[in-house]
């Protein structure tokens, strides 16, 4: 798991876009605070640091962060 997280963080550092399919929880801290409990997600982090989090159904993201935001992936294991 640590190798995968390191690869994603390296891709983001190099301005790449990343698409993840995973079971995860999400903590957001910014102007507001939010939390998504464990669940299946599709996460898209674009090269401009825009982040979209989708549930397995529907077309609208359940959480997003605008261009230029910062992100941190952590392992629970």
Q: Whole-angstrom Cα distance, residue 9 to residue 60? A: 25
Would you say the C-alpha torsion 33, 10, 50, 37 has a positive or negative sign?
Answer: negative
Give me the residue spans of the domains in the chain: 2-65
Phi-psi category of residue 56: left, alpha or beta, with phi > 0 → left and psi -120 to 50 → alpha:
alpha
Thinking of the domain 2-65, which architecture would CATH place it in? Distorted Sandwich (2.70)
> What is the DSSP secondary structure assignment for residue 30, as one 8-state letter?
S
Give the model's pLDDT for residue 77.
65
pLDDT in tens, 13-62: 899 999 999 999 988 877 778 889 999 999 999 999 899 999 999 999 99
Give the model's pLDDT for residue 3.
87
């Amino acid at each position: 798991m640590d190798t995968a997280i390191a690869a994603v963080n390296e891709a983001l550092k190099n301005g790449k876009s990343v698409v993840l399919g995973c079971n995860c929880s999400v903590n957001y801290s910014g102007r507001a605070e939010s939390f998504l409990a464990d669940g299946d997600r599709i996460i898209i982090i674009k090269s401009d640091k825009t982040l979209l989090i989708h549930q397995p159904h529907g077309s609208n993201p359940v959480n997003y962060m605008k261009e230029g935001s910062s992100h941190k992936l952590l392992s629970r294991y």
